[in-house]
């Protein structure tokens, strides 16, 4: 906490011991002529205490929502559609808190480049979303887009099975009928198809997200992926991994007729920004650009082999779009910025007002008690919370990704 602002000179500090002897305060002494309001806000956003408040509200509210979701299971045999609608709203209570961090705390903006004639359809229809998987917060940008289109609580994703066991997010996904896979095709062939078919009568409009690359882009993974492409006689890609086509093909086959289009989304960030969840948490503003193409389902072949060839061609086009973006700084089509909605912020303020007051009362009573055992317990809980915060951030880090490309897994890098 004493590092100050990056690029700024360090501010002098004053340490104050209160008469009780139990509380230590550190006060920054700012020189007025060197301090601007934006510097103060940036300093505040970087403080770990603020981060702990966010995580406390997120974890406490998330567990409450998970418990409520558990009780809604009684509705499934009685009224399945009511169960689904309720859980869409409950999941919004959780996922919108992360969107709030991106849009309101960080101030990150996402500009959409798309055909203005099809833009009015976004959020008004079901769609399969193909998104490149290169950045730590690409999923958060996808959620932000869903929030601005008004369908965040209904969003779906094809995710690895291990995420189903992650508290709060994974449990929320279970109740909203997310599709989980093991990444082993022989096991996934039946289970994924069965889960997808359940979505055919889903009562709410949704976006179904697929990262066809299967894992986040790194140079090591890219090198292994291009070796596979060369062995299969496929064109090399510069900015993407080789797409895994079977999951996409089965999704198209199971949802054809209820999903009218595929949204091909190509995401990048201006000025070679390298966004991270930790940067968002520290209030750093990023500038995302996303090229969205609406592709009617009628244009996608029914045959699995032809669908696979179609997807490979799509990724060659995505690679060309990325190359053009790095050269010019813009994507094709007309830029649009969907308006930011207030509901994510209002949702977080509701949970914060509900949970923070009793929490701070508890802390004050614990510290004022003066008991060494109580204070030691508080320190232990604080350290555990710190490690929990770091673990949750670490889950999103690119270098903590899958084992894609490891020698023991190379034989699995097939379609």
CA triplet 240, 244, 250: central angle to 5 degrees?
140
- Say whether 413 sits in a helix, a strand or coil: coil
Strands (E), 221-374: 261-269, 287-296, 334-336
Q: What's the confidence (pLDDT) of residue 299?
A: 96
The two counts, helices (H) then strands (E), for the chain are 12, 10
Closest CA to 273 of 257, 251, 288: 288
Q: What's the confidence (pLDDT) of residue 197?
A: 94
Q: How many CB atoms lie under 10 A from the CB of residue 168? A: 19
- In this predicted model, what pLDDT tens digit does every residue of 203-231 receive, in sequence order? 999 999 999 998 888 899 999 999 999 99
CA triplet 57, 345, 204: central angle to 5 degrees?
100
Q: What's the confidence (pLDDT) of residue 171?
A: 93
In whole angstroms, what is the distance from residue 292 CA to residue 261 CA?
Answer: 12
Tell me the pTM. Answer: 0.83
Q: Which residues pair with 250 in a beta bridge?
A: none
In whole angstroms, what is the distance from residue 367 CA to residue 344 CA?
Answer: 33
In whole angstroms, what is the distance from residue 26 CA to residue 134 CA?
Answer: 40
Beta strands 109-114; 334-336: pairing state: antiparallel
Reading the block at residue 121, the tokens are 């359809």
Q: What's the confidence (pLDDT) of residue 318?
A: 96
297 sits in which H/E element: none
Reading the block at residue 71, the tokens are 């009780």
Say what the alpha-carbon torsion angle 149, 155, 160, 164 is, to the nearest 10 degrees: 130
Say what the alpha-carbon torsion angle 330, 260, 183, 240 is, to the nearest 10 degrees: -20
Reading the block at residue 56, the tokens are 């406390």
Q: What's the confidence (pLDDT) of residue 411?
A: 47
**H-type alpha helices, 19-158:** 37-45, 48-71, 80-100, 138-148
DSSP symbol at 256:
B
Q: Mean pLDDT of all residues in the chain?
A: 84
Q: What's the confidence (pLDDT) of residue 398?
A: 44
Q: What's the confidence (pLDDT) of residue 162?
A: 85
In whole angstroms, what is the distance from residue 240 CA to residue 291 CA?
Answer: 15
The tens-digit pLDDT sequence of the chain (415 residues) is: 444 444 444 444 444 444 444 444 444 444 454 456 667 888 888 887 888 889 889 999 999 999 999 999 999 999 999 999 999 999 999 999 999 999 999 999 999 999 999 999 999 999 999 999 989 999 899 999 999 999 999 999 988 888 888 889 999 999 999 999 887 777 788 889 999 999 999 999 999 999 999 888 889 999 999 999 999 999 899 999 999 999 999 999 999 999 999 999 999 999 989 999 889 999 999 999 999 999 999 999 999 999 999 999 999 999 999 999 999 999 999 999 999 999 999 999 999 999 998 888 877 777 777 677 666 766 676 666 666 656 655 554 444 455 555 444 444 444 5
Concatenating the DSSP letter of every residue in 329-371 gives: S--SSEEE-PPPPSHHHHHHHHHHHHHHHHHHHHHHHHHHT--
Q: What's the confidence (pLDDT) of residue 323?
A: 95
Q: What's the confidence (pLDDT) of residue 82?
A: 97
- Say whether 90 sits in a helix, a strand or coil: helix
Q: What's the confidence (pLDDT) of residue 95?
A: 95
């Amino acid at each position: 906490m004493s590092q100050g602002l990056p690029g700024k000179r360090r501010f002098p500090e004053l340490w104050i011991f209160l008469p009780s002897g139990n509380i230590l305060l550190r006060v920054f002494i700012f020189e007025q002529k060197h301090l601007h309001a934006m510097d103060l806000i940036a300093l505040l956003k970087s403080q770990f205490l603020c981060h702990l408040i966010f995580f406390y509200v997120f974890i406490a509210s998330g567990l409450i929502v998970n418990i409520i979701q558990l009780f809604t299971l009684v509705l499934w045999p009685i009224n399945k559609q009511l169960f689904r609608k309720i859980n869409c709203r409950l999941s919004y209570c959780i996922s919108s808190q992360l969107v709030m961090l991106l849009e309101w705390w960080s101030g990150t903006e996402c500009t959409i480049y798309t055909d203005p004639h099809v833009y009015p359809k976004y959020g008004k229809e079901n769609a399969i979303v193909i998104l490149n998987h290169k950045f730590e917060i690409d999923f958060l940008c996808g959620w932000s887009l869903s929030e601005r289109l008004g369908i965040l609580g209904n969003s779906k994703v094809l995710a690895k099975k291990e995420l189903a066991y992650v508290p709060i997010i994974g449990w929320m996904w279970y109740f909203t009928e997310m599709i989980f896979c093991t990444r082993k095709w022989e096991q996934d062939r039946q289970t994924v198809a069965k889960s997808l078919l359940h979505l055919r009568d889903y009562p709410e409009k949704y976006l179904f997200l697929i990262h066809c690359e299967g894992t986040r882009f790194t140079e090591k993974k890219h090198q292994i992926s291009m070796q596979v492409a060369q062995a299969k006689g496929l064109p090399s890609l510069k900015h993407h991994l080789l797409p895994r086509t079977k999951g996409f093909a089965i999704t198209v086959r199971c949802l054809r007729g209820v999903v009218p289009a595929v949204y091909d989304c190509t995401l990048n960030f201006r000025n070679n920004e390298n966004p991270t969840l930790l940067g968002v948490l520290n209030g750093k503003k990023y500038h995302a650009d996303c090229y969205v193409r609406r592709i009617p389902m009628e244009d996608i072949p029914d045959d699995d082999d032809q669908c696979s060839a179609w997807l490979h061609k799509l990724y060659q086009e995505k690679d060309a779009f990325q190359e053009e973006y790095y050269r010019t700084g813009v994507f094709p089509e007309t830029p649009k910025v969907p308006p930011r909605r207030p509901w994510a912020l209002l949702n977080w303020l509701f949970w914060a007002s509900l949970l923070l007051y009793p929490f701070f009362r508890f802390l004050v009573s614990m510290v004022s008690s003066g008991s060494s055992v109580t204070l030691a317990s508080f320190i232990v809980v604080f350290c555990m919370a710190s490690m929990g915060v770091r673990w949750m951030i670490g889950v999103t880090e690119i270098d903590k990704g899958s084992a894609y490309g490891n020698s023991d897994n190379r034989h699995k890098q097939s379609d």
